[in-house]
Structure 1
């Protein structure tokens, strides 16, 4: 986790921008322009025409945001599902986005939430090690689901160690129905998420870096501030990825307890609050040229990222 912590310290900003594009979050004229462009290269009756155009639009949207925030934030977190929805063109867009972010000096968290065992888990872990010596995914860390236990985690911890990468394991997530499983009480009074937290701390024990945190991080939702603060004390060597800020209700004040006493130990994600900020700009109109619309996207993303940074600085002061 050392490289991420260094990036956070360099920017003095523990926030990450979630790059989760959807047709509703990309300006209509941008979607339309690249649909037309795709039609010049893809046969009209090709089932991939719409997806190819959407993937091209997503990439230009992502590129505009990355250009706007690269000097403000230390990291981005693309959610792979948004890209997989488009098929092969979407996967290309995902890897191109990760590569472009890397080229602009950003740490890339691949939000893939994989979970399986054996050879399948080992194959998923290629997100970290690459294939045949090639870094095909361009990710610095990935998210992992621990439901299958250590059989599903060990291939990722081994891959992270081999490739000098990191991972974030789901512990206490921000979605409302997470309580159906995560808050169940085990024998002895420990809740499921607390037991998982203990496992995550153990799984990373042999990889603690020079800042006191292991390669094995935890996903802890901003919508659970009291539990997050308790987990901070329970997991002293585990770095937190904190989703749920902004659109899901998390605030700078609610996440402050998830940081350590030095103001480190966590990075907070905002997706829609940054990449969708343009929708509240009165300058925007569907009659604008695509390039102008993307300029408005970039302007608003930059201001939203700066505002989030400043709010976190105040809360952690």
Structure 2
């Protein structure tokens, strides 16, 4: 179950769109007459006058279910779900119209409501999109409706505008993430698709806190496109790709113990061997790196040496 929330200015345009669809059926209404479209619009506008300063008084919500939920739904059940949805969305004490549409394969209905309630107060739309996502998920889990496993199930051909752009970004970034092993590589791959990355830093520092993806005039936070595209999630994916690439590299060989960190086992000389050298030779022999041993000081940073603490002898005072 998913919901799409819209606010507008014209009750006339919204009501006509909802009611005049082929095979549309009015399922329920409160505070308005349903015998004619003109009467519906007039009733909505009459209550709107209680709060003339509210420019966008039209509330419009489309509630949709998966085609897998057809057997669980009928007209009365859909009305009950719509009312439950409105209550959880804190849309109450106001006019509403619930209309069933049959122009798509999946079951769906439209709700038109007045953002000016019966007392003339405004029904807030603050954080409405976030609340809509939470409420739809709650009702889906509560009533056992089909829960799509991910964005792969979305019909891209039906999307328009910003929604379409968001899914294009999702698919493009996901494809690039299969191959990129660093943020630089990811930027380069996306640049070829006219997508740029904008990093959000913690104020006054170079610490990255978030990431946004921009294409043309549109920009979306990674986490708003998909949770798997937040800065932290992408960083983990890039690190996994890098580790996997190292494991699959033909030049990499499994090592054990000290050799795993890039060091060869030390060469141990016997006393017979040492006897053949003078003091200088002995010193050079001890200080010389083993064959194949990396001499770069950067390798030494892989180790953390700890000083052995000497046990202090306790003095006995006589």
| TM score, norm. by length of structure 1 | 0.22
Richer in helix (by share): 1
- Which structure has the larger Rg? 2
* Structure having greater relative contact order (Cα 8 Å, sep ≥ 6): 1
| TM score, norm. by length of structure 2 | 0.22
